[in-house]
Amino acid sequence: MKFTYKHTLAACYSGYITQAIVNNLSPLLFVTFNRTLGISLEKIALLITVNFVTQIVTDICSSKISDFLGVRRSMVIAHLISAAGLVGMGIFPYVFPDPFSGLVLSGILCAVGGGLDEVLVSPIVDSLPGSAKASSMSLLHSFYCWGQAGVIILSTVFFAAFGTENWRILPALWAVIPIFTSLLFVKVPLLPFTEEGETGTPLKKLLTNGKFLLFCLLMISAGASELAVSQWASLFAENGLGVSKTVGDLLGPCMFALLMGSARLWYGIFGKKIRLAPVIAASSLLCVISYGMIVFSPYAWLALAGCGLSGLAVGIMWPGTFSLASEKFPSGGTSMFAVLALSGDIGCSSGPGLVGIFTGAAEKGWIMRIFPNADPSMAGLKAGLLFAAIFPVIMLIGVIHNIKS
């Protein structure tokens, strides 16, 4: 079989689905870890921190790793590591003396594989032949959304059919996708990230460039705008509408992912004829409006609609910033994408973290003065999102500045 650049694209799409699996499967099992393995909620929260720190470290080291191993080997190894982490999720807790240590190791493997995947997939697609780079990037990132929705829906179906007591089988089933993806990257054609005879822009030069630092700020804002809502959407649905955890997952983060993916798919199809920067600016404004719906709506269903609208709004932000930075710095190379991914991951942590701080503050009572008629937990979420609206505002101002310059 002769492999073409279409197969390379397919491998990259599968790579983003892998990233969605390693990022979203474990949170669906947190309650199961607590009940079946006896792991406290405090330790489970620590798993999130370990995952984040590992991804940050991987982002920092990824350009050196890919330079040493080469892009092809790095991608094959990244997906095999992700598969090992997924399989280990159901095995390590039962072979380690302490089940928590087994989950930590599994989480580290998933984070390393997912981190390498995140940094390298985008420049691989950006290097492929074709002029519609922004559309291709948006379409690529839509597969993360389809993967996220697929993990939630199919895992929910699995639990309904086979019961949560058989949860150990589920990660091994999902590991089939990164294994298949690793085999694809053994064969598909790859192109260098820079033109022949050129080298990537040195990291020091990038970090001392004001325009590039603006893109880093935009990536932080994009990540924070995205995760500030999606990480809390299930709780919004459960508490606001009084539905079960399963229905909450489907109405909250699953709806968010599908609408975010739809925005990316739309730009991937029609973006060739549309300027990217104005679309990001309009999306940022729409995101502020959606936050306003969530925070100030007196009706739970309207607030939930705001959650979905925010998914539609943030869809273009992350891949769009990648594409704008690539246009401004065509010789940025792996280092540029690594720093942008690092900035985005920092935003992904700070957004929901900020909302969490306000949610905890609601228990102390002062948040209730702002939302006197709200449930305490919902009041904290609303106050956190009200403050987190600063991120899409920064996005809007930054993109307008980029258009003018």
pLDDT digits (tens, 9 = 90+) for 252-275: 788 888 999 999 999 888 888 788
* Maximum CA extent, the chain: 67
Domain range list for the chain: 1-191, 198-405
Burial 223-234 (b: 16+ CB within 10 A, else e): bbbbbbbbbbbb
Q: Does residue 236 contact residue 295 with C-beta atoms inside 8 Å?
A: no
pLDDT digits (tens, 9 = 90+) for 83-126: 999 999 999 999 999 999 999 999 999 999 999 998 899 889 98
Q: What is the dihedral of CA 293, 299, 300, 302, to 10 degrees?
A: -40
What does the pLDDT look like over 143-170, one tens digit per residue? 999 999 999 899 989 988 998 889 999 9
Distance from C-alpha of 111 to C-alpha of 26, rounded to nearest angstrom: 11
Structure tokens belonging to residue 174: 């999902």
pTM: 0.85
On whether the CB atoms of residues 205 and 350 are closer than 8 A, the answer is no
Stretches where the chain sits below pLDDT 70 are 1, 41, 45, 131, 194-200, 234-236, 238-243, 245, 356, 358-380, 404-405
Looking at residue 335, its pLDDT comes to 83
Cα 174 from Cα 150, distance rounded (Å) = 11
**Could you tell me the CA-to-CA distances from 300 to 120, 200, 314, 382 in Å, in that order?**
40, 50, 21, 12
**End-to-end Cα distance, the chain:** 48
And the tokens for 401? 């500045």
The whole-angstrom separation of Cα 13 and Cα 139 is 9
pLDDT at 43: 81
> How far is C-alpha 404 from the chain's CA centre?
29
Q: Compute CA distances 353 → 194, 297, 360, 375, 379, whole Å.
A: 37, 23, 11, 20, 16
Please report the pLDDT score of residue 197 as a whole number. Answer: 47
Whole-number Å distance between alpha carbons of 60 and 378? 36
How distant, in Å, are the alpha carbons of 38, 62, 127, 336 from that of 342? 33, 10, 20, 10
Q: What percent of the chain has pLDDT over 70?
A: 87
Residues 6+ apart with CB under 8 A from 374: 368, 382
Token output for 363: 């228990």
CA distances from 104 to 40, 93, 174 (A): 14, 9, 19
pLDDT at res. 198? 54
- Please state which architecture CATH assigns to domain 1-191: Up-down Bundle (1.20)
Q: Report the alpha-carbon distance of residue 172 to residue 232 in Å, rounded.
A: 27
Distance CA 317, CA 218 (A): 8
* Homologous superfamily, domain 198-405: MFS general substrate transporter like domains (1.20.1250.20)
Q: Cα–Cα distances in Å, from 200 out to 70, 134, 192, 275, 325?
A: 14, 20, 10, 26, 14
Cβ atoms < 10 Å from Cβ of 203: 16
Residue 42: CB partners within 8 Å, gap ≥ 6?
none
- How many other C-beta atoms lie within 10 A of the C-beta of residue 142? 24
Residue 314: count other Cβ atoms within 10 Å of its Cβ.
Answer: 32
Report the C-alpha gap between 8 and 15 in whole angstroms: 10
